[in-house]
Structure 1
Amino acid sequence: MHIRFNPIGNLGAVSTFQVQQSQKTFTVEAEETDPKQAEIETSRKKYAEMIQSCNAIDQGATPKQLVNTQTNAICIEYGVYYHLGTINGKPLNGTALTGGGFNSNFSPMIWKSEPGTRVTPEQEAALRRHKSYSQAERQGANELVHVLMTLKRLGDGGSLATINKDAMFMQNFSRFAKGVGLDISKPFTINGKLFSYSKGSLQAVE
C-alpha cells in the first residue's frame, strides 16, 4: 500500500529553502503482509490448537460450558474446549479446530507417523480411549458434533435454508440443545445472531 503526500501550496512567510523542500512529493510505504509468513502463522495456530485439545482430553480438563443460560446464547469459537452434553451418561467434550474437524474425547485424533516408525505412547493412549466407547456411542457423539459444527457455520453466515434441509442436524438439534442447556422454546442467539425454533425448523429473528 502506498500513501502519497502532495506539496504544500501556500506556506506564507516561510523561508525559500523550506518552500523548495516542500515542492518534493514523497511516498510512505506500508509493510505488506508476507503470504508465506501468514501461512506459517496459520500452521502454528493449527498445531497449537491440536496440542492444547489433546492435552485437555488427556488431562481431563474442565471444559467450557457452551451456553450462557442467563442470555440463552451460544458462542462457538475455534480452539476452545467445550462440553457438548452426554452419551449414555458419559460426558462428550472436545474442540472445534481452525484446520477443520473436531477433536473429541470419544474419537481423539491420532497423530500420523512416518512409515516404519514406532507407535508413540500418545497414539496408543488415543487409540485406547477411542476403543473405550462402543460404536453406537461414537455415532451418537458424531451426531452431536455435527450439530455443533453446523451451528458454527450458521453463526458465521451459513445458509439457513440449507441447514433446515440437513437431516442429521434436524434429527439431533433438540437433543443437542437439551444436553447443553439451550432453551429452544424461546429465541436464542448463535454467535450474536438471533434465531427461533418452531415446527421442526430454525428461523432467523429480525
Structure 2
Amino acid sequence: MEVKPISFKNLGAIASFQVHQNQKPFQMEEMKTYYKQDKIEATRKSYAELVQSYNNIRREINPTKFVNEQTNSIDITNGVYYHLGLVNGKPLNGTLLTGGGFNSNFSPMIWDNPNSNVVTQEQREALKIHRSYSQVERQEANELVAVFMSLSRLAEGKKSVDSMNNDAMFMQHFPKFAKGIGLDLGQPFTINGKSFTYLQGTLQMTDTED
C-alpha cells in the first residue's frame, strides 16, 4: 500500500539537529512563521507516533522518567514520551520522533492538511499550549532539547565524543540538563549501554572491553 507524504505544522521553535550542529543561538520566530508547513516523509508508524505524542501533551499524560537513578543509566528510544527536567519550575516533556525531531510540550508539533485553510481544533489547542510559555522559557526548553538530541545522536553513533566536547552549546548546557533529569555526573553512566564519564568538564567514553 502506498504511503503518501504527510505535512506537519510546528507552532513553536523546535530544537533541530541542524540548528544544534551549527551552534547558532536559538531565535524565536515571529508568530507568522509558526504556521510554516514542514513537510516530512512519514510512514504510517511515524504518523501514528506524532499523533500519540501530541495527545500525550494535550492530555498531560505522565511521562517516562528519562534516567534510571539506581544504575545511573539512560535509554533513548524513539516514540517514548520522556520527562527532561524543569524549565522555570514547569515540566519539560516530549517525544523523540522516528520521522525526525522532538515533539515538546513547550512547542508542540501537529499534523496538517496542506490542501485546507481551515483552522482545526488541534491547531487552536497547540497554539494555546505554545502561548502558555514565555519566549524565555521556550528558548531554555529548546536548549535542553538540543542536549537531548545530541545525546541521541551520540547513542546512535552519529556523533563522536570529540565533537560533543567541541560543541560549545552542548558543553554549556549538559551539566544543567544532567542535574534536571537526575543523572549523576560524578559517577560513570551509560547511554543505551555505552559507558561514559564526565571529568573536569570533559565527556569521555569508557573502554568496557576485557
Shorter-chain TM-score range: 0.7 to 0.9
Cα offset for 1:156?
Answer: 1.4
Q: 2:81, 2:197 → 1: CA distance?
A: 26
Q: Indicate the residue corresponding to 1:179 in structure 2.
A: 180
* Letter of the structure 1 residue corresponding to residue 155 of structure 2: G
Contact 1:53 1:79 in 2 (8 A): yes
* Letter of the structure 1 residue corresponding to residue 91 of structure 2: P
Q: Indicate the residue corresponding to 1:196 in structure 2.
A: 197
Cα offset for 1:120?
Answer: 0.1
Contact 1:93 1:104 in 2 (8 A): yes
* Letter of the structure 2 residue corresponding to residue 65 of structure 1: K
Report how many residues are paired: 169
Cα offset for 1:113?
Answer: 3.6
Contact 2:50 2:110 in 1 (8 A): no
Cα offset for 1:161?
Answer: 0.8
Q: Indicate the residue corresponding to 1:167 in structure 2.
A: 168
Normalising to structure 1: TM-score of the pair? 0.78
Q: 1:110, 1:52 → 2: CA distance?
A: 10
Cα offset for 1:99?
Answer: 0.8
Q: 2:115, 2:132 → 1: CA distance?
A: 26
Bigger Rg, structure 1 or 2: 1
Contact 1:84 1:179 in 2 (8 A): yes
Q: 2:122, 2:70 → 1: CA distance?
A: 39
Cα offset for 1:81?
Answer: 0.0
Contact 1:110 1:127 in 2 (8 A): no
- 1:4-153 → structure 2 map (5 Å cutoff): 43-114=43-114, 116-153=116-153
Cα offset for 1:111?
Answer: 2.8
* Letter of the structure 1 residue corresponding to residue 163 of structure 2: T
For 1:133, what is the secondary structure of its paired residue?
coil
Cα offset for 1:116?
Answer: 5.0
* Letter of the structure 2 residue corresponding to residue 187 of structure 1: P
* Letter of the structure 1 residue corresponding to residue 179 of structure 2: K
For 1:110, what is the secondary structure of its paired residue?
strand
Cα offset for 1:164?
Answer: 1.1
Contact 2:54 2:110 in 1 (8 A): no
Normalising to structure 2: TM-score of the pair? 0.77
For 2:110, what is the secondary structure of its paired residue?
coil
For 1:99, what is the secondary structure of its paired residue?
coil
* Letter of the structure 2 residue corresponding to residue 159 of structure 1: S
Q: Please, which runs of 5 or more residues in structure 1 have no aligned partner? A: 1-33
What percentage of aligned pairs have identical amino acids? 59
* Letter of the structure 1 residue corresponding to residue 120 of structure 2: T
Root-mean-square deviation over aligned CA pairs: 1.8
Structure number with greater CO (CA < 8 Å, separation at least 6) is: 2
Q: Indicate the residue corresponding to 1:13 in structure 2.
A: none
Query: Aligned in 2, Cα 1:56/1:116: closer, same or farther, shift over 3 Å?
Result: closer
